[in-house]
Amino acid sequence: MAKIICIHSYRGGTGKSNTTANLAALIAREGNRVGIIDTDLPSPGIHILFGLGDNQPEHTLNQFLWKKGKITEAAYDVSHVLEGQGNQKSKIYLVPASVKVNDISRILREGFDTELLFEGYHQLIKHLKLDYLFIDTHPGLNEETLLSLTAAQIVLFILRPDQQDFQGTAVTVDVARRLKVPNLYLIINKALPEYNFEQMRQTVEATYKAPVLGILPDSSDMLRLASKGIFAIKYNKHPISQVLQKMAKQITDSTVKI
C-alpha cells in the first residue's frame, strides 16, 4: 500500500522541488522505497537536485505520456543522494521530465493526458514496490495539475509569507476543496527569521482552515547549496533539516492509505 503525496504552489520559485527532494530523501532514509515524478513538464528541474542535470536523461516522463516508452524505463535509481545514510531497504527513484526545447514546446501546445499519468503512478508503485510516491508539480491553476491533485492522498501546498502568495493560495485552496482533495496541508517557506513563527502559523491556519505542517526560514545556507544536492542529508543537524525531519515524520505517521 503506497501513499501518493503531491506538492503544489500557486507561484513558481516557492520551493516545491527542494521540499519534495528533501522530504522524499528523509523518508527513504528511514528505510522506505520512494519514487518522485517530475510533472512540472513546462519547467522541469528536480532532476538537478539528484545529479541528473549534466546530461539530458535518455528516458523521461514525456516519452511515457506520448506512448513511446514505459514509465519504469524512465525511473532512475538516485539512492546515491543518501550518501550512505539509511538502511538496506532505503531507495529513491526519480522519473525526470524532458528539458529538450521541442518537448517542452509540445507540452505547452498540446498539454498531456492526465488519465495516462495516473496510470503511470500506479504502474510505478507496483513495479518498484514503492511505499511513497512524490509528485512535483507545475505551479498555478492549470487544469492538468489541479486534476493531478485528486490522485493524491496527501497534498502539500507551499506558500511564502507574501501578499501575492497569500491571495493565490486562497484561490487554489478553494479550488482544491471543491475538487475534494483530501488531507491538504500547508508549508510556509522562506519565512524571514525575525518573524514570529507561531503567530504566522496561527494566522495562516485560521485564514485557509488547513493545518500548517511546518515553517521553513529563508536561509542563505539553503541558497548557497544552489540545488546541488539534498540539504537535509548534507546538513543533518541544521535547524532547517530538523524542521524537514519533523514534516517527514508527520507524513509517515499519517494513517491515510490508498
> By CB under 5 A, how many residues form the interface with Mg ion?
3
Dist CA 87 CA 8 (whole Å) = 29
> Is residue 59 near ligand ADP by the rule CB under 6 A?
no
> Is residue 17 near Mg ion by the rule CB under 5 A?
yes
Cell matching residue 102: 521541442
Q: CB of 21: closest distance to ligand ADP in angstroms?
A: 8
Q: CB of 240: closest distance to ligand ADP in angstroms?
A: 7
> Is residue 219 near ligand ADP by the rule CB under 6 A?
yes
Name which of 15 and 217 has its Cβ closer to Mg ion: 15
Given 4, 6, 7, 45, the residue binding Mg ion (CB under 5 A): 45
Q: CB of 43: closest distance to ligand ADP in angstroms?
A: 7
Compute φ and ψ for 4, nearest 5 degrees. Answer: -100, 130
Q: Point out which span in 74-82, 100-108, 198-206, 218-226 binds ligand ADP (CB under 6 A).
A: 218-226
Q: CB of 11: closest distance to ligand ADP in angstroms?
A: 8
DSSP letter string over the chain? Answer: --EEEEEEESSTTSSHHHHHHHHHHHHHHTT-EEEEEE--TTS--HHHHTT--SS--SS-HHHHHTTSS-TGGG-EE-GGGGTT-S-TT-EEEEEPPP--HHHHHHHHHH---HHHHHHHHHHHHHHTT-SEEEEE--SSS-HHHHHHHTT-SEEEEEE-SSHHHHHHHHHHHHHHHHTT-SSEEEEEEEE-TTS-HHHHHHHHHHHHSS-EEEEEE--HHHHHHTTSS-HHHHTTTSHHHHHHHHHHHHHHH-----
User: Binding pattern to ligand ADP, positions 178-207, x when CB under 6 A?
Assistant: -----------xx-----------------
Footprint on residues 39-58 left by ligand ADP (CB under 6 A): 45
Given 4, 14, 98, 159, the residue binding ligand ADP (CB under 6 A): 14
Footprint on residues 117-176 left by ligand ADP (CB under 6 A): none
Q: CB of 169: closest distance to ligand ADP in angstroms?
A: 13
Q: Point out which span in 13-21, 29-37, 164-172, 213-221 binds Mg ion (CB under 5 A).
A: 13-21
End-to-end CA distance of the chain: 6
List of residues contacting ligand ADP (CB under 6 A): 9, 12-18, 45, 189-190, 216, 218-219, 222-223, 227
